Copies of this chain bind each other. A is one copy, B any other.
C-alpha cells in the first residue's frame, strides 16, 4: 500500500465548490472505486485472451447469485447476497489481490485488508461507511447464509472460467486436483447441488489432464 495508491482519484479533478458535503463524500468514494477495474485476478477470461479484473468478477458474481440462488441449501435474501458480492473485493483497491501462492503475502493479508477497509470505507459518509464495512465483515466471517452463498459463488466463478480455459490456473505448478477440491469445498457448504457440480468439473478436469493428479500438502488456495 503506497502513498500513490492512496491518493484519491478525485484529486485529479476536484469537484466544484458548493455541492452538499454528503454528496461530495459519496462521489469521492464512487470515483475512487474506479480503481477496482485495474486490480487483476489470476483467472483468464473465457471471452478474451487476458486476465479478469475485480470489477468484472464482481459483476459476474452478481449475475450468478441472481440465477443460482435457487440452489442454496438455506434460504438466502438474493438482494442482500448481491450487495455482498458487489462490495466483497473493494479492499483489494488498496490491499491488492494476494497471489495464490504468496505465503508471506497471505500472512499479512488480513492486516493489510483491514487497513484498506478503514481507508476506503472512511471516504464515505459515516453511516454508509459503516454499512459497507459491515457487509465486508459479514462476507469474510461467513456466518450468515447470504455470506456463505456469496463465498460459494466467489469460488464457483473462477472454477467455471478454469473449465472454459481447459485448465487455467489449475495448471499452476504444485497444484493438484486435491488442492482444487479442498479449495472448492466451501461451495458444498452453501449448496449441495453446486458442490456436486464443482466436484464433477474438477474430477473431469483431472481425468482429462487439465490439472495434475494426486495429493499434496500445500495450502488449498487455487481458484
Residues of A within 8 A of B (CB): 9-10, 12-13, 15-16, 18-20, 23, 26-27, 29-31, 33-38, 45-48, 52-53, 55-56, 58-60, 62-64, 66-68, 71, 78-80, 82-83, 86-87, 124, 128, 160-161, 163-166, 193, 197, 200-201, 204
CB closest residue in chain B, given A165: B13
Per a CB cutoff under 8 Å, which of B34, B67, B164 touches A47? B34
What are 16 A-B pairs at a CB distance below 8 A?
A10-B164, A13-B163, A15-B163, A18-B200, A20-B193, A26-B67, A29-B67, A30-B63, A30-B67, A30-B68, A37-B45, A37-B56, A55-B60, A59-B59, A66-B86, A67-B128
- For A35, the chain B residues whose CB sits under 8 A away are 47
A31 touches B46 (CB 8 A): yes
Name the residue among A12, A62, A67, A87 with the largest chain B CB count within 10 angstroms: A67
Name the residue among A62, A64, A201 with the largest chain B CB count within 10 angstroms: A62
- For A26, the chain B residues whose CB sits under 8 A away are 67-68
